[in-house]
Amino acid sequence: MNGIHDMGGMHGMGQVEPEKNEPVFHARWESRIFALRRAMRPWSKFKGKANRHQIELIPPAEQLSLSYYAKHATAFSKLLAESGLVTASELSSGRRARGSTKASPPLKADQVAAFLDRGAPATRSVAVTPQFHVGQNVRARNINPLGHTRLPRYARGKAGSIVSDHGVFIFPDTNVADLGEKPQHVYSVRFSARELWGEHASPRDSVYIDMWDDYLEPA
Amino acid sequence: METTRRGFLAAAGAAAGQEGANAQKRGHDHDHGHQAVPSDPALRVKALESLLVEKGLVDRAALDALVDSYEHKIGPRNGARVVAKAWVDPAYKQRLLTDATAAIAELGYRGEQGEYMVVVENTPKVHNLIVCTLCSCYPWPVLGLPPVWYKSAPYRSRSVIDPRGVLHEFGLDLAEDVEVRVWDSTAEIRYLVLPERPAGSENLSEEALAAMVTRDSMIGVAKAVLSEGSRA
């Protein structure tokens, strides 16, 4: 979706402001929402893959005003409600409904290190024919999907070249929408700064964007 | 009790919105700004945690272990060890640039948000910069969780269109004949910059080298320099 999260190339956002001696979390609740989201991942009904899209769906003005973890807290509540693991009345009361079954077992502390080491790989070892090859000139398709996509607006319609083939990955556009993993090749595509931003840009500089087969067409 | 909890969860959106507005008003006053945590998001998350624990969906000790992992175990010191090893061991550097995921796993770093890694090398003529314009993607196993500025609108919006301007604000002015490569982490690949080994570091041990590699130099907003050992 053409949301406010898709920020590449926007003006007016101000200066970058690094913080000295920044802590990992600025408050306990930030660390707890961070951990809650990960701890829920083993439940197959919890659709963690839609977390980013839930954040994208927060109205633009609100999205800009929320801190990173506040956005995640909002998305997390929505995902919980959609999972069916927690009922709407439980979410509004904050208490387990009488008679509801207790789930078990949850992720345990002694499983956390292995859980993090495993991660959640998006690669798929299936044979998929690549549509493009290294060195090929390509163009990012001009598409404007309403759902989740990883094709940033600033690259759409722009010409670049394939630098490397990363292999086969789940396609988020369909996966997040529950339309299947549709595994396909992802390439590193180089776009010159001038192609993206015009003649004022440095002739030497470039932006490398990772793109799935479905985002590209031959140029 | 019931009514109070209902209040916490129902007020979710509004409370968090106010928190963000407050954060903006506080601006750059970070020393105490982030400490004044508005109560509403804090209470809301606490209520969510209680509910999920009560339902047996999450375990408190596991939450503690997850937090502890990123506060004390997984952070930029990991990436610094990777960089230092690449500086002293040419065969390792070759493996790192060829298959970063495997080479990083040799040092025991892998998994969550680093399942597929690529390392890009800075040279006197090429400077690499990492960003995620769509979100805040970042190589957790080697750098830990990203700083607030990396997740912020200014960094995400400007790095791709004005990388030299952003670098200037970090105190890094690149000569015009240096090529800037910006890596926008839009997919599932996570990037780490291999900074240039600073001149004068020839006699340092791998351990001493690792101690001077900063987080910022591995994102690409700074260079690795000898005197910077005490910085992030």
How many contacts, defined by CB atoms under 8 Å, are there between A and B? 322
Question: In a mutagenesis test of the B interface, which of A41, A207, A211 is the best target, namely the one with the most B β-carbons within 10 Å?
Answer: A207
Indicate if the pLDDT at residue B43 is higher than 80.
yes
What CA–CA distance (Å, rounded) separates A37 from A72? Answer: 8
Query: pLDDT per residue over B154-207, tens digit each?
Result: 999 999 999 999 999 999 999 999 999 999 999 999 999 999 999 999 999 999
Annotated catalytic residue B137: yes
Identify whether B227 is a catalytic site residue. Answer: no
The answer to whether A162 contacts chain B (CB < 8 Å) is no
Residue B7 has pLDDT above 70, yes or no: no
Which chain A residues have a beta carbon less than 8 Å from that of B104?
none
Q: Which of A116-120, B28-32, B74-78, B199-203 has the lowest mean pLDDT?
A: B28-32
Q: Which residues have CB under 8 Å from B200's CB, separation 6+?
A: B226
* Distance between CA atoms of residues A1 and A179, nearest Å: 16
CB atoms < 10 A from the CB of A89, how many?
11
Average pLDDT score over residue span A23-36: 98
Residue B21 has pLDDT above 60, yes or no: no
The answer for B 166-225 residues in CB contact with A (under 8 A) is: 166, 169-170, 176-189
Question: pTM for this one?
Answer: 0.90
Q: Which of A1, A6, A7, A33 would best serve as a mutation to test chain B binding (most B beta carbons within 10 A)?
A: A7
The pLDDT of residue A74: 93
To the query of whether residue B132 is one of the catalytic residues in this protein, the response is yes
Q: Is the pLDDT of residue B68 over 60?
A: yes
Check CB contact of B36 with chain A, cutoff 8 Å.
Answer: no
The single-letter DSSP state of residue B208 is H
pLDDT in the model for residue B19: 39
Are the Cβ atoms of A112 and B66 closer than 8 angstroms? yes
Question: β-pairing, A137-140 with B117-121?
Answer: unpaired
Q: Which of B67, B133, B147 sits opposite A152 (nearest CB)?
A: B133
Q: What is the C-alpha to C-alpha distance for residues B29 and B23, in angstroms, rounded to an integer?
A: 9
Instruction: Say if the Cβ atoms of A36 and B184 lie within 8 Å.
Output: no
pLDDT for the residue A153: 98
Per-residue pLDDT averaged across A172-196, rounded? 98
pLDDT at B34: 41
pLDDT at B232 over 60: no
Whether residue B1 has pLDDT greater than 60: no
| Per-residue tokens: B228 | 């910077």
A20, A85, A109 member nearest B57 (Cβ): A85
Query: Are B63 and A52 within 8 A, CB to CB?
Result: no
Stretch A51-66: mean pLDDT: 96
For tokens 């077992």, what's the residue? A105
| Residue among B224, B192, B193, B212 nearest B77 (CA) | B212
Q: Pick the catalytic residue from B39, B50, B69, B137.
A: B137
Q: Do A206 and B177 touch (CB under 8 A)?
A: no
**Catalytic residue status for B136:** yes
Whether residue B19 and residue A80 make contact (CB cut-off 8 A), yes or no, is no
**What angle do helix axes A28-39 and A68-83 make, rounded to 10 degrees?**
40
Q: What is the mean pLDDT of chain B?
A: 86
- Interchain pair B144, A24: CB under 8 A: yes
CA distance A97 to chain B (A): 9
Residue pair B62/B69 in contact by the 8 Å Cβ criterion: no
User: Does residue B2 have a pLDDT over 90?
Assistant: no
Cα separation of A177 and B46, whole Å?
Answer: 30
Kindly state the helix (H) or strand (E) to which residue A56 belongs, with its residue range: helix A51-56
Query: Would you call B50 an interface residue with chain A, using a CB distance cutoff of 8 Å?
Result: yes
Q: How high is the ipTM of this complex?
A: 0.97
- On the question of pLDDT at A169 being above 80, the answer is yes
Query: What is the residue-wise DSSP string for B150-206?
Result: HHSHHHHHHTTT-HHHHHHHTT----TTSEEEEEE--SS-EEEEEPPPPTT-TT--H
Confidence of residue B66 (pLDDT cuts 50, 70, 90): very high
Q: What angle do CA A172, A82, B47 make, to 5 degrees?
A: 115
Q: Which of B8, B145, B158 is nearest residue A24 as measured by Cβ atoms? A: B145
Closest Cα partner for B194 from B220, B170, B164, B163?
B220
In this prediction, residue A157 carries a pLDDT of: 98
Residue A21: pLDDT band by 50, 70, 90 thresholds? very high
**Does the structure show a pLDDT above 50 at B31?**
no
